[in-house]
Structure 1
Amino acid sequence: MTVAELTFWTGTMDAGKSTLALQTNHNHASRGRVGLIFTSHDRAGEAVVSSRLGLTHDALEVTDDFSFWRFVVDRLTQGGRIDYLVCDEAQFYTPTQVDDLAKITDELQIDVFCFGILTDFRTSLFPGSARLVELADRTEVLQVEALCWCGRRATHNARTENGVMVTEGDVVVVGDVEEEPVPLDAAAAEPVVAYEVLCRQHHRRRMTAARARAVSLVSEPLPFG
């Protein structure tokens, strides 16, 4: 008898988590299994899972008051079939919602595949991710490594506002990984938010790619004067 599992796939931004979530759904659905896809605060908008490769799929939006247990039990009671759940952006789920996912796995024998970031831009664990590490049958680190601008493996997520790295502010602010910081629109009331993945050293130094380029353009003083 196959036993259902709660699996947590994690990595930094730009490591391919949403791509893997969509591939997981495709693989299981192509074998005749019936699943549901959930997400929260996807960069493409509400109720959609989007990959930076351009793949998208409709999903169910998880809000703070959403109950996985009640939703799944209601669907099964009404005669629906559910073999698995794909849960993207799981870092934004509440610990109670993660408890529900574990209960669904154990009590209803439904496979649950979660995908999310471990730490926020302040290098603190997301509550949802922390609970998943505590409860998951398996925690897997994505093998596709995101890279810092310096070429080292990126281990930290940095938030920038108007191109400047910040370490304070609301935990949940939707943005995306940008190659170039977006300049501030003088007419905009809110700062332009973007994210960048960095190695620990450059996260500690707040050395984003844009700042590194700016520093490199500063003329070195001549050895004589």
Structure 2
Amino acid sequence: MAELAFFTGTMDCGKSTLALQMDHTHATRGRAGLLFTKHDRSGAAVLSSRLGLTKEALEVTDDLDFWEFVVSQVTNGRRVDYLICDEAQFYTPVQVEQLARLVDELGVDVFAFGITADFRTQLFPGSRRLIELADRTQQLQVQALCWCGKAATVNARVIDGVMVVEGEQVVVGDVAGADDEATPVVEYEMLCRRHYMRRMNASAARAQSLSPEVLPFDLDLCPLPGPGRTTT
């Protein structure tokens, strides 16, 4: 039976790596698939992992109709057994419904990969619809870590080293270099809930620990990471 599966977790937990591995595994068993992605850090039409693995993919735009696209491929003689859909949090709810229809009516397996919540801890519309419709939702076992060593559960947005909690929901970060010195550097950092609520990313924690004005009870109980340091 075909299925709609949603693999999720924070950034840095290996979602794109697993997507590429699943494509490889199915392809080596003689199955034919299509790869999709959207807003990948490496640019358009590329599915990439933080380990350096990359593969060409089809870029998902807001006006892409998955149902019509796959039906046209099949009609023209192309075999489609499965879809790998990376960065699925950026898909529209309607597109997720189209993916579900492909599973139910054409028997195409759909493996979607994405994070659930944005830097404000609010669900992405695409992820919400996937959770509602998926035959199974699987949390990836590789756990990303906060700077303190605890399990990271929140994707924090950091601009020029400062954590922010306001702004557009979709801003691509962690890209190679800025266009010019005036362009803000947008990055994403994995934090535990405690440090997210305290607005304390690694840079802020380091600056606070070095400040002579910080009182003992203002310091976090978790030690800063560094050579020879361990966490408790």
TM-score by length of 1: 0.92
Q: Does 1:89 align with 2:82?
A: no
User: How far is 1:206 from its partner?
Assistant: 0.6
The one-character-per-residue Cα deviations of 1:20-63 (angstroms, maximum 9, x if unpaired) are 00000000001010000000000000000010001000000001
| One-letter identity of the residue aligned with 1:173 | V
The one-character-per-residue Cα deviations of 1:128-186 (angstroms, maximum 9, x if unpaired) are 000000000000000000000011100000001111111111111111299xxx9x998
TM-score by length of 2: 0.89
Q: Which residue of 1 aligns with 2:109?
A: 111
CA distance in 1, matches of 2:99, 2:172: 24
Q: Secondary structure at the match of 1:202?
A: helix
User: How far is 1:66 from its partner?
Assistant: 0.7
5+ residue gaps, structure 2, are 217-232
**Among candidates 184, 191, 195, match of residue 188 of structure 2:** 195
User: How far is 1:191 from its partner?
Assistant: 1.6
Q: Does 1:208 align with 2:201?
A: yes
User: How far is 1:113 from its partner?
Assistant: 0.2
CA distance in 1, matches of 2:174, 2:48: 11
Change over 3 Å in CA distance of 1:175–1:27 after alignment to 2: same
Identity rate of aligned residues, in percent? Answer: 68
Q: Which residue of 1 aligns with 2:6?
A: 8
User: How far is 1:219 from its partner?
Assistant: 2.2
Q: Secondary structure at the match of 1:133?
A: helix
Q: Which residue of 2 aligns with 1:150?
A: 148
Q: Which residue of 2 aligns with 1:58?
A: 56
Q: Which residue of 2 aligns with 1:128?
A: 126
Question: Following superposition, which runs of at least 4 residues in structure 1 exceed 2 angstroms of deviation?
Answer: 184-187, 219-223
The one-character-per-residue Cα deviations of 1:77-113 (angstroms, maximum 9, x if unpaired) are 1111000000000000000000000000000000000
User: How far is 1:218 from its partner?
Assistant: 1.2
CA distance in 2, matches of 1:71, 1:156: 34
Q: Which residue of 1 aligns with 2:228?
A: none
